[in-house]
Chain A
Amino acid sequence: MRKRNRALYYGKKLLIFLFSVLVLSAVVFYVARLAPGDPLVSYYGDRTEKMSPKEREWAMEKLGLDEPIHVQYVKWMQNAFHGDFGISFKYKRDVVEVIRGRIVNTLLLGGIGFLCIFVGSLLLGVFCAWHEDRWIDRILCKLGTVSSCIPEFWLSLVLILIFAVTLRVLPSSGAYSTGRANDIGDRVRHLILPLAIVTIEHLWYYAYMIRNKLLEEVRADYVLLAKAKGLNKRRILFWHCLRNVLPAYLSIMAIAVPHVLGGTFVVETVFSYPGIGALSYESARYHDYNLLMLLCMMSGILVIFCNMLSQIINEHIDPRIKASEVAETSEVTAA
């Protein structure tokens, strides 16, 4: 009986997931095609202007853009199910190939950044809660508030100004120096600044959450009991309080994954780092439909999946919470 319930539960989740992905794909498809602009420009470049109406018609037919949108959509869906996402108009290659060359860089930046944020904010939050209202906690809180107020791009500019222009110790752009693509040391040097910015930008948000949740826990009655039993401060904080906070932290960090990956977008642009951030910007601007679709679907699926993951975590912690209410509570505490 119980097993069946569980299967039903995950089946329902899967259905909602598929439905959301379907609606998302339709919305993105329609919005992208209805946006004004000439998709031919991205394929033919400047030649588009000199085309005769006849040539234009032929080109549209070749790219499959002459049919009504819903027919195009169905065709796209059919091909997508066979793993064929079309070619990029701009790069004139298979979109999967175009993305494959770039995604490693973004995953590297986002992944390491996420790990830094995950560990760093946990440590920072516990440290602040331990020293509540002492000078170190106050200074960290002030610094954290300031860091969360600085726009990503400006922080990048200032750090480039300091470390690349004035001190000349770190490179200011790219993922590797020309001709040294396989040199790991060189890659690491290029990664330091973008990584620092991604981490600083998100760190305090989650550290502050941990701090506040811990301070709430510390005021609960069971802490009093543990103290009366003679446990020391460290054991109570790490063994009892932190344990109660961790599941909520995990569920928020699940939502944080797309946020952090999305945050690499701006950083990638400033550092001209060859990731998929710049690629998605290009594709939306120049109507590279197939590329745009795949990128949107990837990020959309990631967001939906992570939200669902956090819902599942939350529902396991507290079965009283219904699926619909989880999003709000996490949203509110995160804000």
Chain B
Amino acid sequence: MKGITGRDTERSCTTGAADTNTDSNGCAEVISDRNDGRVYGTTDRLFQIAGQRAAEEKTSLVKKKWYQGKPILSIGILSVILLGCLFAEVLMTKDPTYMDLINYNKAPDGEFLFGTDTMGRDIFSMIWYGGRISLLIGALSTAISTLVAVVVGAFSGAAPEWLDNLIMRFTEIFLSIPSLLLVILLQAIMGKANVLSLSVVLGLTSWTSIAKVVRTEVRQIRNSEFVIAARCMGGGFFHILWKHFAPNFLSSILFMVIMNVRSAIISESTLSFMGIGLPLEVISWGSMLSLSEKALMTSSWWMILIPGVFLVTTLLCLTNIGNYLRKSGNRRERNL
């Protein structure tokens, strides 16, 4: 009884009557119109149905403003940081690479807005100038890892069973090499670190999780009629990948791509901090923080806090945007 009547009542309330004031009478009438002749509405009033609840009307009535539920604040802050880094030349008050040997290790004041570091460089200018490199590495390495992931994942998903198994085993082994060691080794092979080599290294060590998702999605649709039709008409692997596979898995990897940007920025700063990433002369948020050992000795908090706050704010904005992309569909009402 509950299973059938309860559900039907709910549904007809929401779909049949747009009016919020529909009382139980209204519902009963809609239901009793069904052609088997039985009157369902009366039972509704006689017994209370367990778990029955009023239909959720709020969503249909109150029209959402365009900004509601969207991470506007995060997008705003992120664009401020992005634009600031893009037009760093306009914002900079000093030359970020110039070492002022008189004013080194100064606390923030009117002239040096964020203070200077132990080498006498102006931190305010370095923030915007260095943000470029950090964000560039984030974007570049994500582009590389996504490209590798999509090609490997789609190939593995479309390949015959044994090849697919082999590729997946290989991916697992690849995952089991500690990524930091892999980065150090790749770094050693590619020579002295620069922006490009670091992006390639980070990209090559972070593609596996996206590849797995792509593979699963491709496996689900690879035998669909439209794919077979495309193959019959002589479509190549990359054509099918781009025209048929990509639109299907794009939404499910979008979140992971954003998260990859995040982890690439984290990795870059960690590596630069430990002295195996970018050298001190190449200004990025990470390499600015590599001076922090000296800063700790002189307790110059601004050298540690300011680049870090920028770093964390950027990461936080990216996470919020990523989480928004992940949330899909409405949440059901809880039964507890």
Chain A residues proximal to chain B, CB less than 8 Å: 16, 20, 23-24, 27-28, 31-32, 34-37, 132, 145-146, 148-154, 157-158, 160-161, 165-166, 172, 215, 218-221, 223-224, 227-228, 233, 236-237, 241, 262, 265-266, 269, 280-281, 284-285, 292, 295-296, 299-300, 303-304, 307, 324-325, 327-328, 331-332, 335
Contact = CB atoms under 8 A, between A and B. Distances in A.
B315 A149 contact: yes
Given A266-B270, A300-B178, 5 more contacts: A152-B270, A154-B304, A160-B296, A241-B336, A280-B181
Contacts of A34: 189
Interface string B151-195: 000000000000001001100110111111100110011010000
Chain A CB within 10 A, most for which of B176, B213, B276, B301: B176
Interface string B103-139: 0000000000000000000000000000000000000
B319 A148 contact: yes
Contact of B172 (A146, A269, A292, A327): A327
Interface string B302-318: 00110010011001100
A228 B336 contact: no
Given A37-B188, A158-B308, A284-B181, A24 B173 contact: yes
A227 B173 CA distance: 47
A103 to B, nearest CB: 15
B181 A154 contact: no
Contacts of A269: 274
Q: Which of A151, A307, A325 has the most CB of B within 10 A?
A: A151
Contacts of B50: 224, 228
B335 interface: yes
Contact of B185 (A32, A148, A160, A221): A32
B73 to A, nearest CB: 12
A278 B236 CA distance: 48
Given A158-B308, A300-B177, A153 B189 contact: no
Interface string B181-225: 100110011010000000000000000010011011000000000
8 contacts: A36-B191, A149-B312, A150-B312, A151-B270, A161-B301, A227-B336, A228-B51, A335-B256
B184 A303 contact: no
B316 A145 contact: yes
A35 B185 contact: yes
B178 A296 contact: yes
Contact of A149 (B180, B256, B319): B319
Contacts of A227: 51, 335-336
Interface in B255-307: 255-256, 259, 262, 266, 269-270, 273-274, 276, 289, 292, 296, 299, 301, 304-305
Given A27-B173, A233-B336, A296-B181, A151 B316 contact: no
Nearest to A307: B172
Contacts of B259: 335
Contacts of B168: 324, 327
Interface of B: 50-51, 165, 168-169, 172-173, 175-181, 184-185, 188-189, 191, 209, 212-213, 215-216, 255-256, 259, 262, 266, 269-270, 273-274, 276, 289, 292, 296, 299, 301, 304-305, 308, 311-312, 315-316, 319-320, 323, 332-336
Nearest to A277: B180
A320 to B, nearest CB: 16
A223 to B, nearest CB: 4
Contacts of A281: 180, 184, 274, 276
Contacts of A296: 177-178, 181
A160 B256 CA distance: 32
A331 B165 contact: no
Contacts of A165: 296, 299
B209 A262 contact: no
Nearest to A28: B177
Closest 6 CB pairs of A and B: A303-B176, A149-B315, A223-B335, A35-B188, A284-B184, A154-B308
Nearest to B178: A299
A175 to B, nearest CB: 19
Contacts of B212: 327-328, 331-332
B316 A149 contact: yes
A36 B262 CA distance: 31
A218 B336 contact: yes
A166 B189 contact: no
